[in-house]
Amino acid sequence: MGLGPYGIARVDAALGRGGKVMMVPNSAPGDLAEIELVREHRGYCVGRLGEILSPGPARRAAPCPYLPRCGGCDWQQIDYPAQVRIKAELIAHELNRALDTAIDPRGLLLPAGNEFNYRSRLRLRVSPNLRLGFNELGSSRVVEIERCMVGLSELSIPHFLPAALGRGCKEVELVGDRAGLIAVANLKREPDRRVIDRTRQALRADGSLRGLIIRAGDWRLKLGEVLTSIEVEPGLELKLDADLFTQANPGQNRSLVACVMERAALVGGTRVLELFCGAGNFSLPAARRGADVTAFDSDPLAISAADANARRLGLNDRLRFSAIAASDTAQFLLRAGYRAQLLLLDPPRVGAAELMPSIVKLKPLRVIYVSCNVATLARDLKALRACGYQLNFVRAFDFFPNTHHAEVVAEAVLT
């Protein structure tokens, strides 16, 4: 398998394609199968899995009835222990190759407590029939579903919602917690009063949702109860609107936060800078341990929620939140003469390459980098290493069983 949804094979040079890599979805390691060539590119080919002549040792029948059409779970055809082993090997290989290290994949990845029913958030597309589902892998076609095996059992699929909102509705995210289910609907344009009234009536008639947020660009409307609660560690619960980013696997997020706090080894007065702080997933636990935290995120709604939680928890005297784009943050701090002992960052999948030169100038003694994309993590750690930082710790967490995704924590120390 590769760092993605495809199994990797190599086309025999005798077939006239020079031994190109063949990328095959729905395959498993060790499969012997017939493969149909779908697309050919300069350096690789994409194939379609045909008859499996001899299954690999880790292959299983995917438990989900919507597979292999649904693109939501790209590794469900691989048994879970093998998923854990393969992810760990791929993460270690990527970091070892980029950083010339010798990370041992054994024990690198913390398995999830639940292989299924773990996601508290599901992002669904709207089909031409105004039904909800997931895109097919590599396609804009929507596979309509009635349930999702990786979503929490409480996440029932509210097909009535896109029907009420009409064809302007392109996506619905479901968010569940102990209090029930909230939906976030993303529309192409702001709806008129008729659509809003119709949606209110549908919400009351169906009764499965306790709240709904409708968004269209910068326009935003809240109907019902939309506040959700997330316990990030024992005794610390974030409360925020359901359309703000939170990790989709609450159990693994608690393990992630515990790991970051353990590595941070905070004492009273430690100066912590957090970039891409969101609603305070790490900032609030750090302040709770006595650190002085300065935290930035480009989303003003997330910053507002983080600030409100800090005040509610009595931590606002140790926290300063600001809504500033990450690209502007480091330069702002350099001009202000700010120096952090510890830098925390949890960027989106594209990573933080543009920030590396400024981060190096800030000279934090340690950097703890949380990443959902090991390729961009490896690239950014390589930039830090070139400027005097040494990789000190790596740990991975299987946030998303039955997919190729994982979260990785890396600590680098200034030498």
Q: How far apart are CA 123 and CA 180, in angstroms?
A: 17
The bridge status of strand 219-224 relative to strand 227-233 is unpaired
**pLDDT class for 9, splitting at 50, 70, 90?**
confident
Is 196 in the same domain as 258? no
Residues 6+ apart with CB under 8 A from 207: none
Q: How far apart are CA 179 and CA 190, in angstroms?
A: 29
Q: Which three-class secondary structure state does DSSP give residue 9?
A: strand
Mark which of 174, 197, 227 sits at the end of a domain: 227
Domain CATH for 262: 3.40.50.150
Domain hosting residue 306, numbered range: 249-414
pLDDT 10s digits, 60-103:
999 999 999 999 999 999 999 999 999 999 999 999 999 999 99
Q: Is residue 18 part of a domain?
A: yes
Whether the pLDDT of residue 13 is over 70: the answer is no
Per-residue pLDDT, 18: 58
**pLDDT class for 398, splitting at 50, 70, 90?**
very high
Whether the pLDDT of residue 199 is over 80: the answer is yes
Q: Is residue 17 part of a domain?
A: yes
Whether the pLDDT of residue 19 is over 80: the answer is no
Per-residue pLDDT, 15: 54
**pLDDT class for 340, splitting at 50, 70, 90?**
very high
Mark which of 14, 33, 59 sits at the end of a domain: 59
Q: How far apart are CA 261 and CA 100, in angstroms?
A: 27
CB 365 within 8 A of CB 343: no
Whether the pLDDT of residue 139 is over 90: the answer is no
Is 220 in the same domain as 149? yes
Q: Is residue 233 part of a domain?
A: no
pLDDT 10s digits, 280-317:
999 999 999 999 999 999 999 999 999 999 999 999 99
Strand order in the sheet with 32-40: 6-10, 21-25, 44-54, 32-40
Mark which of 176, 193, 227 sits at the end of a domain: 227
Is 197 in the same domain as 269? no
pLDDT 10s digits, 222-235:
999 999 999 999 99
Is 262 in the same domain as 179? no
Is 256 in the same domain as 382? yes
State the catalytic residues: 372
Q: What is the mean pLDDT of the chain?
A: 94
Q: Which three-class secondary structure state does DSSP give residue 165?
A: helix
Is 394 in the same domain as 334? yes
Is 317 in the same domain as 375? yes
Q: How far apart are CA 280 and CA 230, in angstroms?
A: 11
Per-residue pLDDT, 14: 43
Whether the pLDDT of residue 241 is over 50: the answer is yes
Amino acid at 362: L
Q: Tokens in use for 216?
A: 């269209």
Per-residue pLDDT, 12: 63
Q: Is residue 151 part of a domain?
A: yes
Q: Is residue 88 part of a domain?
A: no
Q: Is residue 78 part of a domain?
A: no
Q: Is residue 72 part of a domain?
A: no
Closest among 137, 84, 85, 86 to 115, alpha carbons compared? 84
% of the chain beyond a pLDDT of 70: 98
Is 255 in the same domain as 223? no
Domain CATH for 32: 2.40.50.140
Domain CATH for 156: 2.40.50.1070
CB 375 within 8 A of CB 353: no
Q: Tokens in use for 255?
A: 């393990």
Is 134 in the same domain as 221? yes
Q: How far apart are CA 249 and CA 216, in angstroms?
A: 26
Q: Is residue 156 part of a domain?
A: yes
pLDDT 10s digits, 174-192:
999 999 999 999 999 999 9
C-alpha to C-alpha distances, 94 to 28, 294, 387, 410, nearest whole angstrom: 20, 32, 20, 13
Is 351 in the same domain as 269? yes
Is 254 in the same domain as 393? yes
Domain count, the chain: 3
Is 337 in the same domain as 218? no
Q: Which residue's entry shows tokens 């989900």?
A: 64
Per-residue pLDDT, 16: 55
In a 10 Å sphere around its CB, with 0-12 CB exposed, 13-18 middle and 19+ buried, how is residue 111 labelled?
Answer: middle
Predicted structure pTM score: 0.94
